Structure 1
Amino acid sequence: MDKITLTGVTAVGHHGVFDFERREGQPFVVDAVLHTDFSRAAETDDIEHTAHYGEVAGYIVSEISGEPLNLIEGLAVRIAEGILAGYPVSAVDVTVHKPKAPIEVPFGDVTVSVYRERT
């Protein structure tokens, strides 16, 4: 299976369990790996035969900045399932980063990752 990889798609969202997270918002960063077959796209040189990564990036931003969720686990699943539903991919890996999570000890990043495939 061939892959398209998007890394660092960033937007401000209002996800979190604390009131201040919902009120103030914070940056979220998403990486996505789209598993697909490039054969037809390579043969025709036509974007209609592949997942348009610019559109996928826009979709990811709309989900980050859209309806708030308590957990980034839910955001990751929502993004993965939306990509599967809306784009010609066989499977998708999605990682959501919450680099400014309200953690009281020094840390570099918090991520959750999901893998979903067509059934």
Structure 2
Amino acid sequence: MDFLDEIVLTGLTVFGRHGVYDHERENGQEFTIDLRLMMPLGAAAASDDVLDTVHYGELAEKVAAVVAGEPVNLIETLAERIADVALSDSRVHSVSVTVHKPHAPIALTFSDVAVTVHRAQKHPASEISR
């Protein structure tokens, strides 16, 4: 039986131009991303080989490219795109993505606005024929 372990990446901060308002796209702002990947890590632990797991450095680069890339109106959309990147590796059973927008255009004092999405493989790796 495979256990679902976790790889967690928190606090990835990337400059992007996402938002509903023109000034958000013109000026841009920093977004902070947290990821939680659920996947079995026993094979990687046994082999001690990075090829048997998700290389979190490479994943961070891919996520940063999404955040720095094509602007979207909503951080919900951005979170969905990031989840798609994480789930492109069939070994990842599910992912939770939180997009923080601490500089959101709110005319009140606040410390953060965040959206979290939870997504899973449509066909877990164990069901995919090889």
Q: TM-score, normalised by structure 2?
A: 0.89
Instruction: List alignment gaps of at least 5 residues for structure 2.
Output: 123-130
Moved over 6 A (4+): none
In percent, how many aligned pairs have the same letter? 49
- Taking the TM superposition and a 5 Å limit, the aligned residue runs for 1:19-58 are 19-58=22-61
Aligned to 1:60: 63
Contact 1:51 1:87 in 2 (8 A): no
Contact 2:90 2:121 in 1 (8 A): no
Contact 1:94 1:114 in 2 (8 A): yes
Please state if 1:10 is matched with 2:16.
no
Aligned to 2:87: 84
Please state if 1:97 is matched with 2:100.
yes
Q: How many residues align?
A: 119
Q: Partners in 2 of 1:88 and 1:32 — Cα distance?
A: 15
Please state if 1:70 is matched with 2:73.
yes
Aligned to 1:108: 111
Q: Partners in 2 of 1:118 and 1:72 — Cα distance?
A: 21
Q: Partners in 1 of 2:80 and 2:113 — Cα distance?
A: 16
Q: Partners in 1 of 2:89 and 2:14 — Cα distance?
A: 20
Contact 2:98 2:117 in 1 (8 A): yes
Structure with bigger gyration radius? 2
Alpha-carbon RMSD across the aligned residues, in angstroms, is 0.9
Q: Partners in 2 of 1:53 and 1:43 — Cα distance?
A: 18
Q: Partners in 2 of 1:9 and 1:109 — Cα distance?
A: 15
Deviations 1:17-52 (A, max 9, x none): 100000010000000001110111011111111111
